[in-house]
Amino acid sequence: MSRFDIELLFIFDEIYKSRNVTRAAENLGLPQSTVSIGLGKLRTHFGDRLFARTSKGMEPTPRAQNAVQDVRAAIAAWQHALADQPVFDPAASTREFAICMTDISEIVLLPTLLNHLQQTGPGITLDVSKIATDTPARLEGGEVDLAVGFMPHLESGFYQQKLFDQHFVCLVASSHPRIRDSITVEEFLAEGHIEVKSSGTGHSIVEKVLAAAGVQRRIVLKLPSFLGVSRIVAETEYIVTVPYRYALQMRDHEAFRILPLPVALPSFSVKQHWHERYHQDASNRWLRQTMAQLFGAGDATALPIG
């Protein structure tokens, strides 16, 4: 039998227990004819009568006696596979979650997430790495549980959920000699700029929109991440364009002003992303729900991409 019907295992087990085809059919809620046909298929498959009529009922043959434990194990395995997902208990878990995120997310999100885990899942650990070109493949392969950032080029097979919106602002030193509480387009173009090339932050929007508008900034420094930007701005006359939440997180640590940009830039959404293979996994669901609750997306819908 190239295609074995799982129902036949239940028929085998019920006849074995009841020693009666009619009673087996009643217990299974099936027509007697269905159970009789099923028994015929089982006999063909096993090459044995399996159950023989005796004065005590349908008694199992040695072949059936040898097979019954394996049949019941197969039924149990099938039922276990179809059972409800176990509930993830963060308080008792020692699971390690792998998360890809941007350097901005490390600054803006990680402290809040870690403080929450200390209270709700003290045994949980995080393995954080940068969003990169191989992040989609690592999500698909299960090496990474979640990616948090701006990833507009993911294809089908992934889910995403918005955490929050970001817009851009300008940072200048509090002691800047020429710029005070606002900045004009002329001032913006006259100053030296810092450019950040971090991936997954939506910062590519800045370069594309400014280039399309014909705005040519004078770039004096290019950096691979945002980690040292606020300190450099605070101690120089250079200016930088950054996401607003990063500016808020750093303003109590460095002496700079947060100014509206004189050039209109679109906002972007920071989202969490995961592969469909792990959409129903209990521990991954808990992590995503935690991120959504902590960072303001409790009512945002998780949507498949593609």
Residue 151: what pLDDT?
Answer: 83
pTM beyond 0.75, yes or no? no
| DSSP code of residue 206 | H
Residue 1: what pLDDT?
Answer: 47
Classify domain 168-259 by CATH architecture.
3-Layer(aba) Sandwich (3.40)
For the chain, 306 residues long, the average pLDDT of each consecutive 10-residue run is 77 93 91 94 93 90 94 87 79 96 90 96 96 91 92 85 92 96 93 84 74 86 90 96 92 94 88 91 94 80 75
Residue type, 210: L
CA 5 to CA 233: how far, in whole Å? Answer: 70
CA-CA distances (angstroms) from residue 246 to 171, 187, 220, 296?
10, 23, 21, 16
Pick the CATH number of 6-82 from 3.40.50.300, 1.10.3720.10, 3.20.20.30, 1.10.10.10: 1.10.10.10
DSSP three-state, residue 171: strand
Q: Domain extents for the chain? A: 6-82, 90-159+272-299, 168-259
| DSSP code of residue 92 | G
- How crowded is the C-beta side of 80, counted as CA atoms within 13 Å? 6
Q: Same CATH fold, 168-259 and 90-159+272-299? A: yes
Q: Reply yes or no on domain 90-159+272-299 having CATH 3.40.190.10.
A: yes
Residue 298: what pLDDT?
Answer: 58
